[in-house]
Amino acid sequence: MANGRLPGGAGAGIARDRTDFPFLQALGLSSYPYLVGTADPDELSLDYYSRLVADAPLPLYLIEGGWPSGSELGSSPEEQRRYIERQTRILDTARAVAWFQITFTDLDTAAFPSGIAPFASLGLVDVSLQPKLALQAWDAVFARPLEGR
């Protein structure tokens, strides 16, 4: 919504959130860009998050998000890997404080009610815990040294 990609969210930004929550000390982000029509991870601008706090900086945390590897959503394991790499550059540009990958494994769709498909293949490993291409990209990010700590 803040980036203006959902219906009615044309460049919504976070000004309203800052008014409603003046005590904000950090901003948690959620991003599933494939759900709002982004067809390629490289379409995401490097200022995708940083522009949200350009006028009044706040620490940024990516608390959830992802890109599927499943072909049922018109994606692939290679696209998911490229998303992790692009997200890394976007978060570096925003000087984000942390990135949480909440879906380590793909979801077994048989164990969930219908409607889970858009989120079922977000994992870095498949339902059998076999590594996907995205895991290599994630491991490269995880291996980076912490700065300023």
What pLDDT tens digit does each residue of the chain (149 aa) get? 565 555 555 556 788 888 899 999 999 998 888 888 889 999 999 999 998 898 888 999 999 999 999 977 789 999 999 999 999 999 999 999 999 988 999 999 999 988 898 899 999 999 999 999 999 999 999 899 887 64
User: Who contacts 65 (Cβ-Cβ below 8 Å, separation ≥6)?
Assistant: 29, 30, 31, 32, 33, 87
Q: Which domain holds residue 109?
A: 15-142
Please give the pLDDT value at position 15.
83
Please give the pLDDT value at position 129.
97
Q: Is there a domain that residue 46 lies in?
A: yes
User: Who contacts 37 (Cβ-Cβ below 8 Å, separation ≥6)?
Assistant: 5
Q: Is there a domain that residue 28 lies in?
A: yes
Q: Does the predicted TM-score (pTM) go above 0.85?
A: yes
Q: Which helix (H) or strand (E) holds 139?
A: helix 133-142
Q: Is there a domain that residue 6 lies in?
A: no
The total number of structural domains in the chain stands at 1
And the tokens for 90?
């976007």
Tell me which amino acid residue 16 is: R
Q: Is there a domain that residue 7 lies in?
A: no
Q: Is there a domain that residue 8 lies in?
A: no
Q: Give the CATH number for residue 21.
A: 3.20.20.80
Please give the pLDDT value at position 36.
82
Please give the pLDDT value at position 76.
95
Please give the pLDDT value at position 73.
77
